[in-house]
Amino acid sequence: MELNDYSKEDKVLLALDCIIFGFDNEGLKVLLIKRNFEPEKGRWSLIGGFLKKEEILDQAAIRILNRLTGLDDIFMEQLYTFSKVDRDPVERTLSVAYYALIDIAAHDKKLIQENSAKWFLLEDVPKLIFDHDKMLERAIARLRRRARTKPIGFELLPDTFTMPQLQKLYESILDKKLDKRNFISKVNGLDILVRLDEKDMTVSKKGAFLYRFDKEMYDQKVVDGFNFKI
C-alpha cells in the first residue's frame, strides 16, 4: 500500500542520550546527572534531551553535550538506537545513544555543578534509570573495541602526558593489567608519539618524560596502510 497520509501514522518522540567518558588519575569515569523531574526523580541518569525539528541527530548531540560541558570540540560517535516499546513510562520514545570522550580537566566544573552532575568510576556507577544501564554497557564494549584499533584513547588525555598515564588509561579502558615493558615497546613501535624534553616531576624523583600524540604522523601512516593495534 502506498504511504500517502502522514496524519494517520503514529507519532513518537526521539530522544538522545549521551554516555560521556572521562579519564583522570583515578581511572576511567562516566558523567551522570541526577534527574530533577518525574518519573525517577532523584535517581542517576545519563545526560540527554530531545531532537528538535530543525536539527539532525549529530547537531542535537553536540547541543546537549555543549549545554552540560561547555565544550563543542568533542570526540563523539553514534552508538545504537534503543526502541523497546515500554522503555519510557511517559511516552513512546526512541532513544539514539551517543558516546563521547573528553579530558576531565578540560570541562567547565561550574556547569557540572549547576547541572547536579558527577563523575563516577565505572566500578562505582549506581543503578541508572530506564534502560541507561544497557546503554552504558554497550558504550563500554564499543569503546574497548575502538581503543584496540584506533587511537581514540588520546581524546581522554591532556595534550601532553606520561607513558604511565597512557598505560593506566588503556588498563582502565580494557579492564586488565598490562605488562609495562611490553606496553611501552608496543606503543613506541607505533611511531605516533613525540617525546618532549620536558618531564613530569610529580611522579618520581627522576620524573617521567612527557609525550604528545602526533595526529599528522598518524593520518599519514593510515594513508600508507598503517594498522593501529594495542
For residue 57, CA distances in Å to 53, 91, 96, 155, 166 come to: 10, 20, 8, 22, 32
H or E segment and range at residue 188: helix 180-190
- Which residues are CB-neighbours of 113 under 8 A, at least 6 positions away? none
How do the domains of the chain map onto residue ranges? 6-149, 157-223
Helices (H) and strands (E) in the chain, counts: 6, 10
Instruction: List CB contacts of 219: < 8 A, sequence separation 6 or more.
Output: none
| Residue 2 confidence (pLDDT) | 59
C-alpha cell at 87: 522503555
* pLDDT confidence of residue 71: 75
Give, for all 230 residues of the chain, the pLDDT tens digit. Answer: 555 778 888 999 999 999 999 999 899 999 999 988 899 999 999 999 999 999 999 999 999 988 877 777 889 999 999 999 999 999 999 999 999 998 888 775 655 666 678 999 999 999 999 999 999 999 999 999 999 999 999 999 999 999 999 999 999 999 999 999 999 999 999 999 999 999 998 878 888 999 999 999 999 999 999 888 88
91: exposed, middle or buried (C-beta count within 10 Å: 0-12, 13-18, 19+)?
A: exposed
pTM: 0.92
Name which CATH class applies to 6-149.
Answer: alpha beta
Query: What pLDDT does residue 96 have?
Result: 98
Q: What is the pLDDT of residue 88?
A: 95
User: Does 157-223 carry CATH code 3.40.50.2300?
Assistant: no
**The three grid cell numbers given for residue 7, joined into one nine-digit string:** 496524519
